[in-house]
Amino acid sequence: MATEDTNDRRSTDDHGHDVIDPLYVAIVTVSSSRAQEADPDDPGGDTIEEIFETHGHEVRVRELVRDDYATIRTTVRSLVARRDVDVVVTTGGTGVTADDVSPEATSALFERELPGFGELFRSLSWEEVGTRAMASRATAGIAVDTPVFCLPGSKSACRTACEELIVPEAPHLAGLATSHRADVTDQSLSQYESDE
């Protein structure tokens, strides 16, 4: 749950809805082969970072983890609890092989799902890859008042999801998800975190 100077970045849009802008973003790349080899090549993560930063947001964290349910879940859980992270985006592990567990690992943390994201993403993917879009299990939800988006690993998929869906809507989602905490004091925040 991001609160570090969030109030300084909080405003309202033309409809009076809360927005947080610029966003502080965490990116998690899920890839056993890259993690094992400490491979710096990360086209999906690099694409996500480029798009967010082009739109004035700030990537605060980049993580590389293997395709492992517990590792993914623990990493995302620690990120959504950070005060300097408004949005978490994972890339990789959304397919149908046995080690593609990113959707399960992230959705286990969701307090509220955002089914519209996956539906819209697959609709856009249909235009690019046809029937292969049905194999994508991209998903999204809110975890500890933080929007979390779980994307495929391809550069093209990350670009489509970020440019068409996430970057336009994430400031609004982050604002709405945290609007009930806009006036939370440090003391009450500490109590909230200790209850987690």
Output the pLDDT for position 7.
72
Q: How far apart are CA 80 and CA 161, in angstroms?
A: 20
Which pLDDT tens digit goes with each residue over 70-114?
A: 999 999 999 999 999 999 999 999 999 999 999 999 999 999 999
Output the pLDDT for position 153.
94
**Tokens of residue 152, six digits:** 């495929």
Instruction: With cut-offs at 50, 70 and 90, classify the pLDDT of residue 185.
Output: very low
Share of the chain above pLDDT 90, in %: 72
Share of the chain above pLDDT 70, in %: 87
More confident residue, 90 or 190: 90
Q: How far apart are CA 10 and CA 28, in angstroms?
A: 25
Question: How close are the terminal C-alpha atoms of the chain, in Å?
Answer: 11
State yes or no: cis peptide before 171, omega within 30 of 0: no
Is the residue at 169 inside a domain? yes
Is the residue at 1 inside a domain? no
**Tokens of residue 66, six digits:** 């293997």
Q: CATH number of the domain that 76 lies in? A: 3.40.980.10
Is the residue at 167 inside a domain? yes
DSSP code string of the chain:
---TTHHHHEEE-TTS-EEE-SPEEEEEEE-HHHHHHT----HHHHHHHHHHHHTT-EEEEEEEE-S-HHHHHHHHHHHHT-TT-SEEEEES--SSSTT--HHHHHHTT-SEE-HHHHHHHHHHHHHHHGGGGGG---EEEEETTEEEEEE-SSHHHHHHHIIIIIHHHHHHHHHHHHGGGTT--HHHHHHHHHH-
Output the pLDDT for position 179.
81
> Any bridge partners for residue 151, and if so which?
91
Is the residue at 165 inside a domain? yes
Domain of residue 112, residue span: 6-195
Choice among 11-25, 29-43, 105-119 with the minimum mean pLDDT: 29-43
Q: What mean pLDDT, rounded, does the chain reach?
A: 88
Output the pLDDT for position 2.
52
Which pLDDT tens digit goes with each residue over 138-168?
A: 999 999 999 999 999 999 999 999 999 999 9
Output the pLDDT for position 192.
40
Give the residue carrying structure tokens 């993403």: 121
Domain count, the chain: 1
Which pLDDT tens digit goes with each residue over 15-29?
A: 778 899 999 999 999
Output the pLDDT for position 188.
40
Output the pLDDT for position 5.
66
